[in-house]
Amino acid sequence: MDYDVIIIGGGPAGLTAGIYASRARLKTLLIESYSVACQAVTTDHIENYPGFPEGINGFELIEKFKKQAEKFGTEFIVSEVKSIKENKPGWQVITDDKSYSSRAVIIASGASPKKLNISGEDKFRGKGVSYCATCDGALFKDKEVVVIGGGDTALEEALFLTKFAKKVTVVHRRDALRGTKILQERAFSNKKIEFVWDAVISEITGVAKVSAVKVKNVKTGAETELLCGGVFIFVGYAPNTGFLKDALPLDEGGYITTDDNCLTSKPGIFACGDCRKKLLKQVITACGDGALAAFACQHYFESKA
């Protein structure tokens, strides 16, 4: 076997698993995706992670995690995992340029923003349509933008966009927000943010780039046009588990089901973080998952000795 354990994913869950596995003196490889950035990296300000009362930039926090994992011996490569196959007594992880063997695998592949799948969304991606305000917000200085969604991420990103945009309109399909109360309070008190309730976006329009969206009232069916220079979509996340379709059973949403110790239905495969079916998806719960998965992996090896 090349490694004791291979970790798939370089977010908080995967990096914490790397710290714990390496400290247990397990030979550990972490495979980071080059096409999918972890959600924490693209978060401008994380204020609910303990130990940082003033908050911390997501990229900075992840870099601290990575340095800590490297310090204890975690090896890193950047590649795309294509599949996992059984390779008794362990597993084979196949990437786009090589394959690696290990006694166990910890999947921490995270989740990516969901698409609306409406007309104009794909056409104008990168031309006004974005899924990351931290990445693209500065491109919309003094413009009017639309944010779609009503949860924590939508509110955080709407607040961030007020640093650049002239006006931010939040379109939400319900008549009340789902986000944390403190974020709601900040959004309602920000003079740059307006709300359109009980509404969805039915189409994104423009020529070379976004110029407007069509807004449909879900109760009356009436459609109106809202002029804007950008559309930011935050309507939930889908797990990055497509590479597992032949290796593990997934639930109806594509999430991995595990027991309380992050063990999947296949012995030697563990899952942690946002790719796992669970109630709360936050940096702190991802870290807890990563520690638990690595510790459970260590006990799995001891039970086989």
Q: What is the pLDDT of residues 92-110, one digit of tens each?
A: 999 999 999 999 999 999 9
Structure tokens at 175: 């008549």
Res 234: pLDDT: 94
- pLDDT above 90: percentage of residues in the chain: 88
- Whether residue 185 is predicted with pLDDT greater than 90 in this model: the reply is yes
Res 186: pLDDT: 97
In the chain, list all ranges with CATH 3.50.50.60: 3-113+237-304, 129-233
Mean pLDDT value across residues 295-303 = 96
Structure tokens at 224: 């109106």
Res 38: pLDDT: 83
Told to judge if 272 belongs to the known catalytic residues of this protein, a careful annotator would answer: no
Told to judge if 132 belongs to the known catalytic residues of this protein, a careful annotator would answer: yes
Mean pLDDT value across residues 19-32 = 98
- Whether residue 45 is predicted with pLDDT greater than 90 in this model: the reply is no
- Whether residue 37 is predicted with pLDDT greater than 80 in this model: the reply is no
pLDDT band of 281, cuts 50, 70, 90: confident
Q: What is the fold of 3-113+237-304?
A: FAD/NAD(P)-binding domain (3.50.50)
What is the C-alpha to C-alpha distance for residues 173 and 114, in angstroms, rounded to an integer? 15
Catalytic residue among 135, 175, 251, 259: 135
Please write down the HEC assignment for all residues of the chain. CCEEEEEECCCHHHHHHHHHHHHCCCCEEEEECCCCCCHHHHCCCECCCCCCCCCECHHHHHHHHHHHHHHHCCEEEECCEEEEEEECCEEEEEECCCEEEEEEEEECCCEEECCCCCECCCCCECCCEECCHHHHHHHHCCCEEEEECCCHHHHHHHHHHCCCCCEEEEECCCCCCCCCHHHHHHHHHCCCEEEECCEEEEEEEECCCEEEEEEEECCCCCEEEEECCEEEECCCEEECCHHHCCCCCECCCCCECCCCCCECCCCCEEECHHHECCCCCCHHHHHHHHHHHHHHHHHHHHHHC
Q: What is the fold of 129-233?
A: FAD/NAD(P)-binding domain (3.50.50)
Catalytic residue among 4, 38, 44, 132: 132
Q: Quick: pLDDT tens for 77-95.
A: 999 999 999 998 899 999 9
Catalytic residue among 4, 38, 44, 136: 136
Share the mean pLDDT of the chain: 95
Told to judge if 4 belongs to the known catalytic residues of this protein, a careful annotator would answer: no
**pTM across the whole model:** 0.86
